[in-house]
Amino acid sequence: MSRDQVRSVDRWAIEQIGLPGIALMENAGRTCAEFIMDRLGRKAMCRICIFCGTGNNGGDGYVIARHLRNAGHTVHVVLCGDREKVRGDARINLDVLGALGEDIRQLDPGRADMPGLVASLAQGADMVVDALFGTGLQGPLREDYRMLVEAINALAAPVLAVDIPSGLDCDTGRPLGAAVRADWTMTFVAVKKGFLACSDAGEYTGEVHVASIGIEPRTTT
């Protein structure tokens, strides 16, 4: 699917079918959490560091965190940006996570010590989750977020990208200044156009898996 097709599917599911956006987010996040637990295998308690943006991709991250927490794993959620910019379904899931007692760290990507802080927050993590930006991202990353992406790429832990590696253009498959280099990408509904359009996209997506959001169109337009 292209960026426009992704938006079309979301509108169809919410406006025509009547499935609320928060249900789509719940299904997406739960599927990612199940994938993470499957990859971590039989280890009883794992540490997962989840970097969340202020949009709906970050909302998926909060759902992932809740399900991993419910399963007994240790999650470290890092909100990268202004908390007041988190709105709608993402805000609901952020508030739920907070009400459960989860300590949510806030990170200003513009901090001079940001790369070192990212390394400290993710220290000892069994897996890192990239839930910064989704398929709607267009135009080059701001310099502070470019540096954040590079800091995530410098981590030793394996990385799961939620829907698309942050910084990768959905339609072209090329980085918008920089992009997360994931080991796995759990993408929703269908493979994104850019994953196939660019021969280098696999360097960023890693192994691609397609997840259901609970409803599937027979065709996309």
The binding site consists of 56-60, 130, 134-140, 145, 163, 166
Using CA atoms, how far apart are residues 68 and 196, in angstroms rounded to an integer? 31
Rounded to 10 deg, the angle between the 88-99 and 21-40 helix axes is: 50
First to last CA, the chain: 9
| Residue that has been written with the tokens 């989750």 in this structure | 129
Rounded CA-CA distance 160/182 in Å is 6
Binding site residue list for K(+): 57, 130, 166
Residue type for 78, please?
V
Q: Binding site membership for (6S)-NADPHX: which residues?
A: 56-60, 134-140, 145, 163
Spatial neighbors of 88 by CB under 8 A, at least 6 apart, are 21, 56, 59
